């Protein structure tokens, strides 16, 4: 999948988001180091802190299928009128799996590309 297709796929999975409280549907597509593709959408909860972000769901799906390194995360919100940037917790989850770059969807279906280091400089990791 090329980058535009990744963002299109993130917008598609966002349709499956369970977001009755915020109305903010987010989709994420993760490409692991072997080229495997994994998807996730946000899943909200009446107990608000139990909500799972789209990127967290996609990263958990990738890890659950055996991925230990992730190259690219594409994320898109289909209800916002500006780019939906990953929250701090999701950025830290990306650090764990060595994400190289993040594509952040824009309302017109385009995207802005960032390195993970731009989004979370000095992210936490135990020394190897």
Which is catalytic among the residues 55, 65, 96, 113? 55
The SS3 of residue 39 is strand
Should residue 53 be labelled a site residue for ligand THU when binding is judged by CB under 6 A?
yes
Tell me which stretch binds ligand THU (CB under 6 A): 30-38, 58-66, 85-93, 120-128. 85-93
Pair type for strands 111-115 and 101-105: antiparallel
How would you label 67-95 residue by residue, b for 16+ Cβ within 10 Å and e otherwise? beebbbbbbbbbeeeeebbbeeebbebbb
**In 3D, which of 117, 123, 106, 126 has the Cα closest to residue 10?**
106
- The torsion angles phi and psi of 26, rounded to 5 degrees, stand at -125, 140
Q: Write out the binding residues for ligand THU, residues 98-127 only, by CB under 6 A.
A: none
- Minimum distance of ligand THU from residue 26's CB (angstroms): 4
State yes or no: is 55 an active-site residue.
yes
Residue 26 lies near ligand THU (rule: CB under 6 A): yes
Alpha carbon 44 to chain centroid distance?
Answer: 15
Closer by beta carbon to ligand THU, 26 or else 128: 26
Do the strands 26-32 and 37-41 form a parallel or antiparallel pair, or are they unpaired?
antiparallel
Closest separation between CB of residue 115 and ligand THU, Å? 17
The reply on whether position 76 binds ligand THU by CB under 6 A is: no
Closer residue to ligand THU in complex, CB, 48/126: 48
Query: Which chain residues interact with ligand THU by CB under 6 A?
Result: 19, 22, 24, 26, 42, 44, 51, 53-55, 86-87, 90
Residues annotated as catalytic (active site), given as ranges: 55
């Amino acid at each position: 999948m090329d980058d535009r297709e990744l963002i299109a796929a993130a917008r598609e999975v966002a349709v499956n988001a369970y977001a009755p409280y915020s109305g903010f549907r987010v989709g994420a597509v993760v490409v692991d180091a072997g080229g495997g593709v994994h998807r996730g959408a946000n899943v909200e909860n009446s107990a608000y802190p139990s909500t799972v972000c789209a990127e967290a769901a996609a990263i958990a799906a990738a890890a659950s299928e055996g991925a230990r390194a992730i190259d690219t995360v594409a994320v898109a919100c289909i209800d916002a009128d500006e780019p939906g940037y990953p929250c701090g917790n999701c950025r830290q989850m990306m650090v764990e799996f060595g994400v190289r770059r993040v594509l952040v969807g824009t309302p017109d279906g385009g995207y802005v590309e960032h390195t993970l280091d731009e989004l979370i400089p000095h992210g936490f990791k135990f020394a190897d």
